[in-house]
Structure 1
Amino acid sequence: MIEVVPPDKRVCERCGRMDVWSEREQKWVVADADGEPQHGRPHCLHEWDINGSYNPVPE
């Protein structure tokens, strides 16, 4: 059986918004950096940095 490992963080390549996966809430939440939420631009159509180079199957 192959284990699929989902990403645990993502960053928008357009506005810099940073999200992390919350196991407790079972959803993406805005990450904090230096105590500040990383919201990015409110009307950005986010382009997440998770693409074909991300490998969800561990070696």
Structure 2
Amino acid sequence: MSVELRTPTARVCERCGRGEQWDETLEAWQLATENGEKQIGNPHCLHEWDINGAFNPFRGS
């Protein structure tokens, strides 16, 4: 039985719309861009990311 650990690669704040993507090279979250614009949202927001209990980090049989 093989199980794979998954990690999120993108996240969006449910309060202000800030978008971030995981950068493998930097090993850090970076601002997402859409149509050439950075998805900065509100810099003073206490971000509520859309990754919650519904995200299952394990995949496999």
TM range (shorter): over 0.9
For 2:33 and 2:59, how far apart are their aligned partners in 1?
Answer: 27
Using the size of structure 1 for normalisation, the TM-score is: 0.93
Cα drift, residue 3 of structure 1: 2.0
Runs of 4+ deviating beyond 6 Å: none
Compare CA radii of gyration and give the structure with the larger one. Answer: 2
- Aligned CA-pair RMSD: 1.0
CA–CA distance in structure 2, aligned partners of residues 57 and 7 of structure 1: 11
Counterpart in the other structure of 1:32? 33
Query: Which one has a larger percent strand, Structure 1 or Structure 2?
Result: 2
User: How many residues align structurally?
Assistant: 59
Q: In 2, Cα distance between the equivalents of 1:57 and 1:9?
A: 17
Structure 2 residues not aligned, in runs of 5+: none
Residue 43, structure 1, aligned to residue 59, structure 2: no
Segments of structure 1 that go 5 or more residues without pairing to the other structure are none
Match of 2:11 in 1: 10
| CA deviation vs aligned residue, 1:1-59 (integer Å, no higher than 9, x gap) | 53211000000000000000000100000000000000000100000000000011124
